[in-house]
Amino acid sequence: MLVENFRPGTLERWGLGPDELRELNPRLVVARVTGFGQIGPYAARPGFGTLAEAMSGFAAITGEPDGPPTLPPFGLADGIAALTAAFAVLTALRAREATGEGQVIDLAIIEPILTLLGPQIITYDQLGELQARTGNRSHNNAPRNTYRTRDGSWVAVSTSAQSIAERVMRLVGRPEFIDEPWFATGSQRAEHADELDEAVGSWIAQRDRDEVVKAFEDAQAAVAPIYDAADVMADPQFRALDSITTVQDDELGPIKMQNVLFRLSRTPGRIASAGPALGAHTGEVLGRYGIGTRSWRRCAPRA
């Protein structure tokens, strides 16, 4: 198994292209992760997740209606591509069990995030419509927004199910909305988002966060506090799931980090290491091929 993310053609220039490697080992699976893929007019361009977030349509639909397109403050497209690459590798390894042969995976970072963005493409293809920025609102249901509580915290409310929308209206003391003809579907409720946001927002603004969350929980309505990292680490649900685990690092000692993404009943797995320091295994790896570290330093290109 080989994973690489050099620009297309780099391994080939080194004489280490997939064709050469698979002559030595036909079972080899090679995952090639690049910004734009191995083919096409942009293949040779430098590519990063930010460009994928821009080109996929993500930035165009993210942000307030009267604001600029908005990029995420973290590696969203990179993370989605990494999870997709893991799935692709597992698929290729399963195929190898059946055929006895490996294959090459061509994964462009611009594609996985594009796939996750929902019906934008088919909507434009069939209706000629482009999705606009709606801030925290949704075209599909309302009320759906973030609301500020009396103590200065924020909560998010979702009413993706009709029964939940009705419970929220009863909770905030506005049951009359439920009898309106337009309240019967999420898309129609979204057309009246101003009215619904005012009703929900004004009720929430008169209460502290914990009171709001408790009231929604008692009403079996959907709400969540908006957390920062400190809140995440203190939350009992994340603790129950062991979402944050402690890993021993050679330099920093015990450190907290996100745990394995899921729980398997028979082979749960664990994070064994935070990762080696840069160059920690260079001597060991090169030594397998009879290359001493001194020789490597002499021939390695300078930065």
Burial 113-129 (b: 16+ CB within 10 A, else e): bbeeeeebeeeeeeeee
Do residues 198 and 204 touch, judged by C-beta distance below 8 A? Answer: no
Query: Which residue, 204, 226, 248, sits at the end of a domain?
Result: 226
The rounded distance, in Å, linking the Cα atoms of 83 and 90 is 11
Per-residue pLDDT, 132:
93
Q: Could you say which of 19, 66, 78, 208 is catalytic?
A: 78
Give all strands (DSSP E) within the chain, no chain letters.
Answer: 2-4, 30-34, 104-108, 145-148, 154-157, 223-225, 244-249, 253-258
Q: How many helices (H) does the chain have, and how many strands (E)?
A: 15, 8
pTM metric for this prediction: 0.85
- Short-list 233, 228, 231, 225, CA closest to 208: 225
Same domain, 163 and 204: yes
Per the structure, the complete domain to which residue 152 belongs is given by 145-226
CATH number at residue 196: 3.30.1540.10
Query: Which residue, 226, 260, 285, sits at the end of a domain?
Result: 226
With a cut of 50, which residues of the chain have pLDDT below it? 296, 298-303
For helices 193-205 and 162-171, give the axis angle rounded to 10 degrees. 50
Per-residue pLDDT, 136:
95
Residue 117 in domain: yes
Same domain, 256 and 219: no
Same domain, 161 and 190: yes
Same domain, 244 and 169: no
The rounded distance, in Å, linking the Cα atoms of 99 and 121 is 35
Residue 11 in domain: yes
Same domain, 9 and 118: yes
235 annotated active-site: no
30 forms beta bridges with 2, 104
Instruction: Name 261's Cβ contacts closer than 8 Å, sequence gap at least 6.
Output: none
Per-residue pLDDT, 291:
64
Per-residue pLDDT, 4:
96
Q: To which residue do tokens 């000629």 refer? A: 128
The torsion region of residue 249 among left (phi > 0), alpha (psi -120 to 50) and beta comes to beta
User: How many separate domains does the chain show?
Assistant: 3
Per-residue pLDDT, 19:
94
Same domain, 74 and 100: yes
SS3 140: coil
Q: What is the DSSP string of 50-90?
A: HHHHHHTSHHHHSS-TTS-----SS-HHHHHHHHHHHHHHH
Per-residue pLDDT, 282:
85
Same domain, 177 and 210: yes
SS3 186: helix
